């Protein structure tokens, strides 16, 4: 696991929206991801509207991400946030693999940054380290990645003009 995140992007000065789709499951951890991502987005993209959509569990995230990406009012980026804690069966791995594939397919097919921070962890201690701490906060990192990708996508559009 890498503990070195890319540099924080510069603040954006554009209009539009960013969507956060987050699981309600493992609420202590997912709520922390949403709070951190929202605070970071407010700081780095103050002109953007942030829309948060909560879903029951991690498996439900991709269908809402697809709906948002397909909408007429497509956001500039979508953050997918959740925490899956591995149990004694393969269920968590199957869910995580399905989510990863679905999120990637949506981003590629709609040419929209979909930031995947649906975490698959071994236990609550790992979830806590990635969601509640300042050093390794995946909510903050998801927001930073979204801002960086909005810049990248805008530069591609500008290069095509």
pLDDT digits (tens, 9 = 90+) for 19-75: 999 999 999 999 999 999 999 999 999 999 999 999 999 999 999 999 999 999 999
Which parts of the chain fold into alpha helices (H)?
A: 27-44, 61-70, 91-110, 124-131, 138-160
pLDDT beyond 80 at 108: yes
> Is residue 116 flagged as an active site residue?
no
Measured CA to CA, the distance from residue 88 to residue 54 in angstroms comes to: 27
**Catalytic-role residue among 71, 91, 98, 152:** 91
| The pLDDT value given to residue 89 | 86
pLDDT beyond 80 at 82: yes
pLDDT band at 8 (very low <50, low <70, confident <90, very high): low
| CATH number belonging to the domain at 16-160, selected among 2.40.30.30, 3.10.180.10, 3.40.50.960, 3.65.10.10 | 3.40.50.960
What DSSP character marks residue 11?
P
């Amino acid at each position: 696991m890498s503990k070195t995140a890319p540099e924080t992007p510069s603040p954006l000065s554009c209009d539009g929206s960013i969507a956060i789709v987050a699981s309600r499951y493992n609420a202590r951890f997912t709520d922390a991801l949403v709070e951190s991502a929202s605070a970071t987005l407010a700081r780095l993209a103050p002109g953007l509207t942030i829309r948060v959509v909560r879903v029951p569990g991690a498996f439900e995230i991709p269908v809402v991400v697809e709906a948002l990406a397909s909408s007429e009012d497509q956001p500039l980026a979508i953050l997918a946030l959740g925490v899956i804690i591995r149990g004694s069966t393969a269920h968590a791995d199957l869910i995580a693999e399905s989510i990863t594939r679905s999120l990637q397919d949506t981003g590629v097919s709609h040419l929209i940054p979909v930031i995947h921070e649906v975490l698959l962890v071994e236990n609550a201690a790992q979830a806590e380290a990635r969601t509640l701490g300042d050093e390794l906060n995946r909510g903050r990192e998801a927001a930073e990645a979204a801002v960086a990708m909005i810049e990248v996508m805008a530069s591609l559009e500008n290069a095509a003009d």
